[in-house]
Amino acid sequence: MTIQEKIAEITKEINSLTQPENQERLEELRLKYLSKKGALNDVIKDFKEVPKESKRELGMQVNELKTLVMTRIEHFKHQLEQNSRSSELDAMDLTRTPYPLPLGSRHPLNIVRDQIISIFARLGFNIAEGPEIEDDWHVFESLNFAPDHPARDMQDTFFVSHSPDILLRTHTSSVQTRIMEEQEPPIRIICPGRVYRNESISARAHCFFHQVEALYIAEHVTFQDLRQVLLHFAQQMFGPDTKIRLRPSYFPFTEPSAEMDISCNICGGEGCSFCKHTGWVEILGCGMVDRNVLEACGIDCEKYSGYALGMGIERITNLKYSVNDLRLFSENDIRFLEQFKSVR
Ligand SMILES: [Zn+2]
């Protein structure tokens, strides 16, 4: 068979090929035409023997044949891939309901902190933050703590180093000091944050917990202003029927100082085991900022006065959601945390 006859025959064969039904059949075709011992190489071998004067014309024909074979086989391959992809799609049920995405829940302390912040934010209080590792001045000295105050003892406070005393803040009042040092009155801030005390961990005490404190300093601020804000806060937080009661107390940084009770929201003031049958539950401490504190922070106490109040976020959360063990807040038990899924 001459080379021309071979080219004609292969061309005819290739043109009459139909789409192979699977990969194996395609591979057979590839081997038959394109492998080392395949038909195309056979033609190329013959071509080497062709006399010089015919090489130009025949060369073109060989090249055309090569292109034809390769294009055809490539086309079959592409077609097979397309078919397998569309059969995969056919196997998928696009009308099936999707798997539900698991929804997380917010931590109860964050929920309550944000509620407290939003009540005070609507009254014009701005959020202020400060460091958790503090010096003695901002935590104790500026806030009128006597040198022998028990909070300055290692039994009650975590010290990072001594002389100079660096410690983990025991209250967020240190943020108030920092703001009073930096800003001129009027000052209206709310300071949420984590605080630390050297206590053994139990259902009722923990070595860290969270506070929110509020501070308002301006001209002519009176105890009556404080009382009004407290009543507003209690009713926003615990419901419009909530009553408040102030009892005299003592804090180094306020004078006069008070503790605030709210009417028990479990028994409505009738008396129950939760409120120890008094009808009242203690929720926060407050008072007028002590003149010594104002002076220590460089604020003119003849011109300005102010009030401060502070509460534990855990305490408020316990009251709102009847949680009776502080440890639940930091154990990350999903059974506990999941119960707050519906709360925004
Ligand atoms: Zn009660």
Distance 323 CA to ligand 1 centre (A): 15
- The pocket of ion ligand 1, defined by CB under 5 A, consists of 264, 266-267, 272, 274-275
The phi, psi pair for 304, rounded to 5°, reads -115, 150
Sign of torsion over alpha carbons 276, 280, 285, 290: negative
CA distances from 201 to 198, 204, 304 (A): 9, 8, 41
Sheet of 166-168, strands arranged across: 133-135, 166-168, 159-161
Residue type, 274: F
Residues of the chain with pLDDT > 90: what percent?
A: 50
Distance 249 CA to ligand 1 centre (A): 22
Residues of the chain with pLDDT > 70: what percent?
A: 99
User: Which residue's entry shows tokens 């703590």?
Assistant: 145
User: With contact defined as beta carbons under 8 Å apart, do 288 and 254 qualify?
Assistant: yes
Q: Which of 47-51, 105-109, 238-242 has the lowest mean pLDDT?
A: 47-51
Predicted confidence band at 344 (pLDDT cuts at 50, 70, 90)? low
The secondary structure of residue 256, as a DSSP letter, is: E
Distance 167 CA to ligand 1 centre (A): 38
The phi, psi pair for 244, rounded to 5°, reads -120, 160
Distance 238 CA to ligand 1 centre (A): 13
User: With contact defined as beta carbons under 8 Å apart, do 212 and 296 qualify?
Assistant: no
Please tell me the distance from the alpha carbon of residue 84 to that of residue 29, in angstroms, as a whole number: 19
Distance 264 CA to ligand 1 centre (A): 4
Helix (H, G, I), strand (E, B) or coil at 265: coil
Q: What is the pTM of this model?
A: 0.68
Please tell me the distance from the alpha carbon of residue 223 to that of residue 137, in angstroms, as a whole number: 27
pLDDT tens string 97-148: 888 887 788 999 999 999 999 999 999 999 999 999 999 889 988 888 888 8
Quickly list DSSP for 122-180: TTTPEE----SEEEHHHHTGGGT--TT-GGGSTTTS-EEETTTTEEE-SSTHHHHHHHH
pLDDT tens string 150-204: 777 767 888 888 888 899 999 999 999 999 999 999 999 999 999 999 888 888 8
User: Which residue's entry shows tokens 């990072």?
Assistant: 160
pLDDT tens string 296-332: 999 999 999 999 999 999 989 988 888 888 889 999 8
Distance 243 CA to ligand 1 centre (A): 13
Distance 208 CA to ligand 1 centre (A): 27
User: With contact defined as beta carbons under 8 Å apart, do 185 and 299 qualify?
Assistant: yes
Distance 320 CA to ligand 1 centre (A): 13
User: Which residue's entry shows tokens 């992809």?
Assistant: 85
Please tell me the distance from the alpha carbon of residue 26 to that of residue 78, in angstroms, as a whole number: 11
Q: How many CB atoms lie within 10 A of CB 308?
A: 26
